[in-house]
């Protein structure tokens, strides 16, 4: 029975992936940070792992438990919303620790297990790393970094028979928008120079739920790609996953920025 480790399985994409791979006959190791989420995953029949993806000690222990690994899905992450200068370097550091640094840390820790099976690493990026929008700069930057490190890892792991597939979801029906909205509210305050644009900031935090694709549909497409003899280097899935990168590629940069500035209320003087 092939095995898969999926990070960030408490809800949303992670839980949908865990359910889908389990139904396909995989031995699913599903990670989450909170005790109640781990308990729920255990009750659902997964090999549940309590894991902070930035905890190097916990990662080493997990690698020893696994021994061999067929598929690693680096899914854990969140979206920091709001003006870049409101969040500052602290928000950027927190965003990159979870969305970027953890991918390298988890993959590094589990590389020996992946090498044993000549496995596959699946990194969950986002179209937000291709089409950058205002009020989501930290998140967009983190996902652009995921795209870059996926390309580098693909080349560096190839001599060991370990493959790398990047996934760029579009709008997927998850709790992402709710969580992103909570993150945005933490920054929105009357002292911010962008306080007059608070409704536009809120609108950006909810943009991922524009006609979203069901998470189970997305998970099924990921499973199908993983099971191919030669998995694609890039999988785009979900509403907007092709249209938005195409817009970013075809529209002149200045035109695209004007469109986005108008969309999010930045075409006025404060």
193, exposed or middle or buried, with CB in 10 Å at 0-12, 13-18, 19+? exposed
| 111, 69 contact by CB (below 8 A) | no
Nearest to 170 by CA among 223, 136, 124: 124
164, exposed or middle or buried, with CB in 10 Å at 0-12, 13-18, 19+? buried
Q: Output the 3-class SS for 68-88.
A: CCCEEEECCCCCCCCCHHHHH
| 172, 77 contact by CB (below 8 A) | no
Please report, in angstroms and rounded to a whole number, the separation of the first and last CA atoms in the chain.
60
* Residues recognised as catalytic: 139
């Amino acid at each position: 029975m092939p095995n898969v480790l999926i990070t960030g399985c408490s809800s949303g994409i992670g839980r949908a992936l865990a359910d889908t791979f389990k139904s396909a006959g995989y031995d699913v190791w599903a990670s989450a940070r909170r005790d109640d989420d781990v308990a729920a995953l255990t009750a659902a029949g997964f090999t549940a792992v309590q894991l902070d993806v930035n905890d190097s000690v916990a990662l080493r222990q997990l690698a020893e438990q696994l021994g061999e690994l067929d598929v690693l899905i680096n899914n854990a992450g969140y979206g920091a919303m709001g003006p870049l200068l409101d969040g500052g370097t602290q928000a950027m550091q927190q965003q990159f620790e979870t969305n970027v640094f953890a991918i390298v840390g988890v993959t590094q820790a589990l590389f020996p297990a992946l090498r044993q099976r000549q496995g596959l690493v699946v990194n969950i990026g986002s179209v937000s790393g291709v089409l950058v929008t205002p009020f989501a700069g930290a998140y967009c930057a983190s996902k652009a970094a995921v795209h870059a490190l996926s390309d580098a890892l693909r080349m560096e792991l190839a001599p060991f028979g370990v493959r790398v597939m990047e996934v760029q979801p579009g709008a997927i029906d998850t709790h992402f928008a709710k969580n992103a909205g909570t993150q945005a509210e933490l920054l929105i305050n009357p002292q911010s120079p962008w306080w007059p644009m608070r409704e536009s900031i809120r609108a950006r935090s909810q943009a991922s739920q524009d006609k979203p694709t069901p998470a189970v549909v997305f998970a099924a497409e990921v499973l199908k790609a993983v099971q191919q003899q030669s998995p694609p280097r890039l999988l785009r899935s979900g509403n907007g996953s092709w249209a938005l990168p195409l817009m970013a590629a075809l529209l002149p940069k200045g035109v695209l920025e004007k469109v986005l500035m108008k969309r999010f209320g930045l075409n006025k003087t404060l």
